Structure formats: structure tokens, C-alpha cells
Amino acid sequence: MFPIIEIQHLTRQFGSNTAVNDISLNIERGEVFGLLGPNGAGKSTLLSMLCTILRPTSGTATVNGYDIIHNHHQVRQSIGIVFQDPSIDADMTARENLQMHADLYDVPADTQDARIKGVLELVRLTDKADDFLNTFSGGMRRRLEIARGLLHYPKVLFLDEPTIGLDPQSREHIWEHIRNLRKREDMTIILTTHYMEEADRLCDRIAIIDHGSIVALDRPEALKSGLGGDTVILGTNDGQRLCDLILTHHLSEEVTLQNGEVKATVSNAGTSLPRITDAAAQDGIHIEYISLNHPDMNDVFMHYTGRDPRPETNKERFSRMAMMRRRRIK
């Protein structure tokens, strides 16, 4: 079976700035694939090229077997997109928005009603079909945008920050819909997000992008385990002495003293922690408290990018939108 997306040396430059730098990547059919990276890392530019919104400077890619440069119409018929910024008409009802989208994608007239009913049921908005969008909450609007992206039965669904700005309950509903899509539809999902736990819970594989290049690519568990183990934090009134003791007995390969706390990285906290506490007791060092942190996707993100996965500021969003308005497909 061929990958649903094949990317070969894809590059995009804006003047002297290289937004995407020689990326090669395959995405398998049926995957939930995550793209993570700081603002300005190249995620949105990469998605724009795969969606044929933006033409690459060099390299190419295929989506569902169609070349993004030479077969852009077939690519667009193969994909659904939920943009980061709202793109539905608030002065229309949910049904009217979906009908307009069905017309734009040449969904046969005799199947439109059934498809609209089906996607509304999927995102649990059947009872809101004839309500205007200006009465919808943020979470309801995002669910409708997902419904719109599914209306023409795409093979690939691009979700660009699908839960940004939503409250935890609305985010959980979106997660539920994405998991249901995975079970019910023969569909590949490409997800960008700044919520690390979202990527961890949903994605089969994750690529971390920084400065236009992929700096890490693997399953979430493999990325976390690749950081080298658990972090043990010990509170004591004799931190430097405990650090020296841990190093002398080779109980950890990396030990630091920060704000009076001893932080030790161990391969297995279940076996290493008792050895540390026993050695401390024998040496007369009193440990006041212990906490244990397993590596998570935030740790992975920071390890590979050295930056906080922060939501973009209004200034950054304005700059990005201005850049999008200047882009044209040649």
C-alpha cells in the first residue's frame, strides 16, 4: 500500500527567508499525524503547500496519488481543511453553510441532504442545523467547521489548531469527534496543535518542525522514552551533598541543583529511587520530599526546540494573515 502523502525535498522561500527547508516525509493511510513546532517554524507553510494554497519553491509532494503542482484540482477534491482562523459565514445557518460548501465541491444534488444530515449527526449539531452561526459557541463553530471539511468525503483531513481558544470541555468534545472519525471513516488526519497533551493522546506519529526542518519524527511514546528516563526531584537541606553522593555512587548520569532541589535523571525510577534514598539515609542526609516526573510531550518539545509551545500573539497572527493575503499561486 502506498502512503497517502509523499513529500520529497519540499522547500518554500519568501525572499531570503526559508520557511520550509528540504522536507521529505511519508504519511501512511489512516494515520493521525501530528505536526508540532514553535510559531514561525514552518507548519502552516507546509500545510499550505500540501493543500495547494501555496506553490513550493522546489521539491514536490503527492496527496492521494496526485501531484500538488500538476494535479491541484484533484488534490483539493481529496482533502478537507479546518483552518486555524474561522472561515464560516456567521450570517448563514449551519445548513446553509454546508449546502454552499457542497455546491463548491460538486457534491451531487441528490446526495447533499443525506450527507449534510450525516455530518451534522457526527458532530452532534443536528438540532442546530437551522440556527444562525452568530448564536453558536466557539466549540460549536469548530465542530461545524469539522463537519464542513468532511462533507465531500475527503481522503485527508487537515486540522490546523482545531481547538485553539476553546475551553477544556469543548476541547474534549473535539477530541471525541476526531477519535470517532478515526474509527468510522477511511481517513488520514493531519493535525497541528500547540497543546502537547492533545498531540500525545491523538497522534500515531508526530513530527517536530523547527526553523523549517523536521528535527524529530516518531511515535509519541518513542519520542518520550528517547529523552533518557524519569526525573526524580528531591527536597533536602543539604542539596550539594546529595548531588555529590548521587554522582559518587553512579546513581544518575545527570544531576543538577536548582532552587534548593536536587533533580536527577534516571532510566527507571522504580529501581533507582530506593537506591538513592538508601544511600542518603546511610550518609545521614535527610530527604524532606520526593516527586517524580515522567517525560511528557512538553519535555520532548522543549528538548528539540528549546522554546515554549506558546499560542501565537495577536501581532504574530496579524503578520501571518497579512502574509497569507499576499500569497498567490503562480
Domain check: are 246 and 116 in the same one? no
Q: What cell was used for 180?
A: 470517532
- 109, 258: one domain: no
C-alpha cell at 58: 522546489
CATH number for the domain harbouring residue 260 = 3.30.70.260
Number of domains observed in the structure of the chain: 2
pLDDT confidence of residue 327: 41
- The tens digit of pLDDT for each residue in 197-214 reads 999 999 999 999 999 999
- Report the range out of 10-24, 109-123, 160-174, 178-192 with the highest average pLDDT: 10-24
**Helices and strands (H and E) in the chain: how many:** 12, 14
Same domain, 276 and 319: no
Cell reading at 147: 463537519
Same-domain status, 246 and 189 = no
**C-alpha cell at position 296:** 511528557
137 with 232, same domain: the answer is no
On whether both 84 and 207 belong to a single domain, the answer is: yes
Percent of the chain with pLDDT over 70: 92
Q: Give 322 or 216, the one with higher predicted confidence.
A: 216
Q: Do 212 and 257 lie in a common domain? A: no
- To the question of pTM greater than 0.95 for the whole model, the response is no
Whole-number Å distance between alpha carbons of 182 and 274: 42
Same domain flag for 200 and 254: no
Same domain, 117 and 68: yes
Q: In whole angstroms, give the CA distance from residue 10 to residue 273.
A: 47
Condensed to tens digits (0 to 9), the pLDDT of residues 28-60 reads: 999 999 999 998 899 999 999 999 999 999 999
Task: Give yes or no: residues 138 and 254 share one domain.
Answer: no
Q: How many residues does the chain have?
A: 330
The yes-or-no verdict on residue 315 having pLDDT over 90 is no
**Do 261 and 206 share a structural domain?**
no
Residue 114 structural domain: 5-224+303-326
pLDDT, mean over the chain: 87
| pLDDT confidence bin for 316, thresholds 50/70/90 | very low
Tell me the pLDDT tens digit for each residue of 232-265: 999 998 999 999 999 999 998 789 998 889 999 8
The CATH number of whichever domain residue 65 belongs to comes to 3.40.50.300
Whether 165 and 310 map to the same domain: the answer is: yes
